[in-house]
């Protein structure tokens, strides 16, 4: 009898709370707060949070289970984003939550705040702006595209293979960024698609980082302490990555590679003295931050771009027309002839890439935490040390910014009537973040994106396998859950 009474009481409470919340976007339950609704929709996290933001005028406060300290402010309001990233920049840092979740990044540029962040940014900026580095970057990417990417796609054409283009791009960009940062080519992209332990470890570690966001902190910390489940895998993957990076650092010091232009070599022998001024941990932290940024963001952007282009043949035709016009009268359609200067003339291609980044930003949300209590432009009062997530995915879908056709893929929205590029403020087009923490590698990213896009589109026609599901993955990087399965055909001139 007691059991029936308990069940009846629980049903009464459940119905009572359902009735109280039936007209609200998300139910707040006793003890569990809003967590059940989030967990129920975690497989559709980005669109779910986007719908909540839209229903709440661009900002809502998520209240987690009791005693879990999981209260989070979600926002896609561009004025809030401008306030957080620029106007009140000094009050908004990464915060304790972020530094705990992303401990693997060490004291690198993406995890650090204050003086450490400023030092990292100044140092990397001084390297990125060097003309010799830009030339090295261009040649490295060009070589990898010619010797690996196009060779692999030629092989796929001859064999009539279905290809997971996302996997191809992850391998390509991992090889590229390893060459640029470490001066070492792991050769992930080759005909036989080998399994490379360090590349696999990067992918698996990303998954754990996402789940640290949606699980109570005490839960994943307990898993970490006990070394079980997801956290055990994470520790194993980080061990693989660290062993590899420290091995490369040791090799760099021993071989004294002064003439190499990779970032690790530059930091070791130009900034440091080859031995003591730059320690191994600083090199490791810098390397892992740049490897994560240069591999995952570029591969994600390329994957969504090619899916959008493949499903919008008119856009594909316009890109090809623009590229061929800039190749002048050359009949061989050699993508290399454009060079660095030619890339900047491809206005429509630039617009198509911006559209892909708007709709599917590689980093779908960003963390912040305020040092002092504050009032956002939206009117929300924020206590100190509150976790704030601004959704880059949702900002690209705000009708007030992009219009009623905001869900459509329209490169034309980036091209002015005079044929130039329309520039949108970074707090509205936020794929490269905004304010002082805007991505240093923005220009570098566009170079690689354009080179890969031109090389593939000029030589091949990409067709998405019919019925292949396109769903965002649950990760801190916006990959496709099931990859991008395509058939590839050689393009006739």
Residue written as token pair 């219009």: 403
Q: Where does the pLDDT of residue 22 fall: very low under 50, low under 70, confident under 90, or very high at 90 and above?
A: very low
**pLDDT at residue number 17:** 43
Separation of alpha carbons 480 and 482, rounded Å: 6
**3-state SS, residue 199:** helix
**3-state SS, residue 325:** helix
DSSP 220-283: HHHHHHHT-HHHHHHHHHHHHHHHHHHHHHHHHHHHT-TT--SHHHHIIIIIS-SSSSS-HHHH
Domains of the chain with CATH codes: 71-490 (1.10.630.10)
Q: Pick the more confident residue, 388 or 334.
A: 388
Work out the mean pLDDT of the chain and round it to a whole number.
Answer: 87
**pLDDT at residue number 37:** 67
Residue written as token pair 């022998």: 269
Separation of alpha carbons 365 and 395, rounded Å: 10
pLDDT tens digits, residue range 339-366?
A: 778 888 999 999 999 999 999 999 999 9
**pLDDT at residue number 295:** 87
Span 215-231, average pLDDT:
89
DSSP 398-450: -HHHH-TTTTS--GGGGB-TTSSBPP--TTTS-TT--GGG--TTHHHHHHHHH
pTM: 0.89
**pLDDT at residue number 71:** 80
């Amino acid at each position: 009898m007691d059991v029936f009474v308990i069940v009846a009481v629980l049903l009464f409470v459940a119905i009572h709370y359902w009735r109280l919340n039936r007209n609200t976007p998300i139910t707040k339950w006793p003890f569990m707060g809003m967590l059940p609704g989030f967990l129920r929709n975690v497989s559709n996290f980005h669109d779910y949070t986007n719908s909540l933001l839209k229903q709440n005028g661009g900002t809502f406060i998520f209240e987690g289970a009791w005693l879990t300290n999981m209260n989070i402010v979600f926002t896609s309001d561009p004025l809030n984003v401008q306030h957080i990233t620029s106007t009140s920049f000094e009050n908004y840092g990464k915060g304790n939550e972020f530094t705990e979740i992303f401990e693997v990044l060490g004291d690198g540029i993406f995890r650090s705040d204050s003086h450490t962040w400023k030092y990292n940014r100044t140092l990397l900026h001084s390297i990125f702006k060097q003309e010799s580095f830009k030339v090295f970057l261009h040649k490295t990417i060009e070589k990898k595209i010619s010797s690996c990417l196009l060779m692999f796609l030629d092989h796929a054409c001859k064999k009539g293979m279905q290809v997971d283009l996302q996997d191809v791009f992850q391998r390509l960009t991992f090889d590229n960024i390893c060459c640029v940062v470490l001066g070492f080519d792991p050769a992930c992209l080759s005909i036989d698609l080998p399994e490379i332990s360090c590349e696999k470890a990067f992918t698996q570690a990303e998954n754990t980082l996402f789940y640290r966001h949606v699980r109570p902190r005490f839960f994943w910390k307990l898993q970490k302490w006990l070394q079980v489940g997801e956290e055990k895998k994470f520790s194993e993957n980080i061990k693989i990555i660290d062993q590899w990076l420290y091995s490369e650092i040791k090799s760099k010091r021993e071989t004294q590679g002064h003439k190499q232009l990779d970032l690790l070599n530059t930091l070791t022998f130009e900034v440091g003295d080859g031995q003591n001024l730059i320690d191994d941990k600083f090199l490791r932290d810098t390397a892992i931050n740049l490897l994560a940024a240069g591999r995952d963001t570029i591969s994600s952007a390329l994957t969504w771009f090619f899916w959008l282009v493949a499903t919008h043949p008119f856009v594909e035709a316009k890109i090809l027309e623009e590229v061929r016009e800039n190749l002048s009268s050359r009949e061989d359609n050699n993508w290399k002839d454009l060079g660095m200067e030619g890339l900047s003339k491809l206005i429509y291609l630039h617009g198509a890439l911006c559209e892909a980044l708007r709709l599917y930003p590689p980093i779908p949300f960003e963390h912040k935490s305020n040092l002092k209590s504050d009032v956002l432009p939206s009117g929300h009062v924020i206590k100190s040390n509150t976790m704030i997530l601004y959704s880059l995915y949702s900002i690209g879908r705000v009708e007030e910014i992009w219009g009623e056709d905001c869900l459509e893929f329209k490169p034309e929205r980036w091209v002015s009537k005079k044929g130039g590029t329309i520039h949108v403020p970074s707090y509205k087009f936020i794929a490269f973040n905004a304010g002082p923490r805007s991505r240093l590698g923005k220009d570098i990213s566009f170079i690689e994106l354009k080179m890969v896009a031109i090389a593939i589109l000029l030589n091949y026609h990409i067709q998405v396998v019919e019925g292949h599901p396109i769903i965002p993955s649950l990760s801190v990087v916006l990959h496709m859950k099931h990859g991008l399965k395509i058939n590839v055909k050689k393009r006739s001139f």
